[in-house]
Amino acid sequence: MNNAESSSAASGLAWFKSSYSGTEGGQCVEIAADAGAVHIRDSKAVTGPVIRVSPTAWARFLADA
């Protein structure tokens, strides 16, 4: 699963930003998870598009990062 969704479709989720993200406004993403997907968005454009991936794909990404 790798789909783009609108920000309104993911508005009820609890979003988390990396603890490495500073207050200087650098490059950062936020994630939110629900039972079937991990949602990813740009922390500086919270009303912009959201990417949705499966929990398995997210785990593989983290393992490779």
What's residue 47's pLDDT? 86
- Across the beta sheet with 29-33, the strand order is 2-5, 50-53, 38-42, 29-33, 16-17
What's residue 59's pLDDT? 94
Number of compact structural domains in the chain:
1
Rounded to whole angstroms, how far apart are CA atoms 57 and 55? 5
8 A C-beta contact, residue 29 and residue 15: no
What's residue 60's pLDDT? 96
What's residue 1's pLDDT? 45
For residue 25, give its domain range: 2-64
What's residue 45's pLDDT? 84
Q: Which two tokens stand for residue 51?
A: 């990417």
Tens digits of residue pLDDT in 8-62:
567 789 999 877 776 666 678 899 999 899 999 988 888 889 999 999 999 999 9
Q: Which of 42, 58, 41 is nearest to 50 (CA)?
A: 41
pTM of the model: 0.75
